[in-house]
Amino acid sequence: MSSAMLSPRFLLLRSAASLTTRSVSIGVALKQGRAPDMIEGNPLLHVSNVRNRLREIVGASTNWSDHQQAMAERVSLSTMLANSQNDLPAKRMKDSFVEAHLPLGSEPQLREKYLTFHNTVRFGRILEDLDSLAVLISYSHTYNPKLRRSPLSIVTALVDKIDMRQHIIYPDRDIKFTGHVTWVGKTSIEAKMHMSQCNEGVYDPVLDATFVMVARDPENKGAAFVNPLTPEGPEEDKLLQEGEANKFRRVELSTASLLKVAPTDEERKIVHSLFLNTLDTKTVSFRSRVLPPNSVWMEDAKLKGLEICHPQERNIFNRIFGGFLMRKAYELGWANACSYGGCRPRLVAVDDILFQKPVEIGSLLLLSSQVCYTQGKYIQVRVHSEVFDPLTQQHNTTNVFHYTFISDRDVPSIIPKTYGESMLYLDGKRHFNQTVGQ
């Protein structure tokens, strides 16, 4: 049977499962930007088809008018959930391997969606593709051939880190995404992805991304178990250990959050030094502050935006698509960094994007971008998103985004004035040190 005659669902299963073991491990192959040991003739997945595949897996409707019925039908799938992780078969890393192509070079009609005014690729669109791919990878890991539809609702919990290995993404060259599961908890999944771009027939690495996904029940109301992961070989053992280390690092960072505990002694000295450098020596008053040369008050380095969340931007579970939120937050953060530095900045890293609450269709989404730390040519930007209910006047935080940009020249120093701004400054410094280092 030709691939043209196969059903889309069968192609998905074959793309996720038709892999074979050879001498080179999957981890090494991914780092080299190539597919690990796939059976010859394995169909290529087009990025534009990823979300359609996800709809097929969960049985979601493509029509907004049918979404309520489609979601109601998923309630019956609760009986298919495992009672414990021990009831689920272990999976291998190559079971979840997915390769997706974005042929910007060979299919010019795709470029307009991804193109900026300056003839570069919109990184916000790349974030959307990465988010969809991470979900597909997670479903490939949890795939059960006995079930027609997956009872799991898999959503993005955290973008742990995105490291840029190349600052320029060309709009007229093909792009390839590869990724697979590298660690699992009882109800959570870590997916690592790599993006590369074709250059004279060779795919050069562009970025590495680590997403953390969580599995929920069919109604997305409670946690659900996922298949355990069995590594094969030393390279995969190393990836699994790195995933475990990432988990403990996230716990430590959460425990040491400035929203929970006081700054360290060194951080308190930094805040006090910033305060002393802004005192007006003529008045010698705690309230009288003077802005140092080549500096900007933190309160003057903000940029805000508003989005009305329409059905068009929904995910397969009829909430606002996480990739859309990341794109809008990134574009606002980039605009803020551009305005602050006076030139077009380049992205260095995305760090610790936390998805605290889902965003419902019809919400008013408020985005607030703040330059919170600077060092030399670097600009650290924090974007806070919240939903606002105009009827109750209540605000609820949904996401916090952290971006590190670099400018073509040194930028003004950002100076906090209040204690709250000082905590933002220290938090920005922590994220900067995690991504760039001292």
189 and 57 together in one domain:
yes
The pLDDT tens digits of the residues spanning 218-253 come to 888 899 999 999 999 999 999 999 999 999 888 888
- Short-list 159, 158, 156, CA closest to 220: 156
Which of residues 254, 281, 299 is at a domain's end? 254
305 and 195 together in one domain:
no
407 and 298 together in one domain:
yes
The pLDDT of residue 256: 84
Domain that includes residue 103, residue range: 8-254
Round to whole Å and give the CA distance between 163 and 350: 7
Decide if 349 contacts 407 (C-beta within 8 A): no
Does 3 map to a domain?
no
64 and 192 together in one domain:
yes
Q: What is the DSSP letter of 411?
A: -
362 and 416 together in one domain:
yes
Name the pairing type of β-strands 98-102 and 45-46. parallel
Does 298 map to a domain?
yes
Q: Which residues of 256-279 are buried (b: 16+ CB within 10 A; e: fewer)?
A: eebeeeebeeebeebbeebbeebe
pLDDT in tens, the chain (438 residues): 333 333 333 333 334 433 333 323 444 444 444 433 332 333 468 998 888 888 888 877 667 666 667 677 778 888 999 999 999 999 999 999 999 999 999 899 999 999 988 888 999 999 999 999 999 999 999 999 888 889 999 999 999 999 999 888 999 999 999 999 999 999 999 999 999 999 988 999 999 999 999 999 988 889 999 999 999 999 999 999 999 999 988 888 888 888 889 999 999 999 999 999 998 877 777 777 899 999 999 999 999 999 998 888 888 777 888 889 999 999 999 999 999 999 999 999 998 888 888 888 888 999 999 999 999 999 999 999 999 888 888 889 999 999 999 999 999 999 999 999 999 999 999 999 988 864
Per-chain mean pLDDT for the chain: 85
The pLDDT of residue 9: 34
27 and 169 together in one domain:
yes
**Structural domain total, the chain:** 2
Residues 6+ apart with CB under 8 A from 338: 344, 345
The H or E element that residue 183 is part of is strand 175-184
CATH number at residue 362: 3.10.129.10
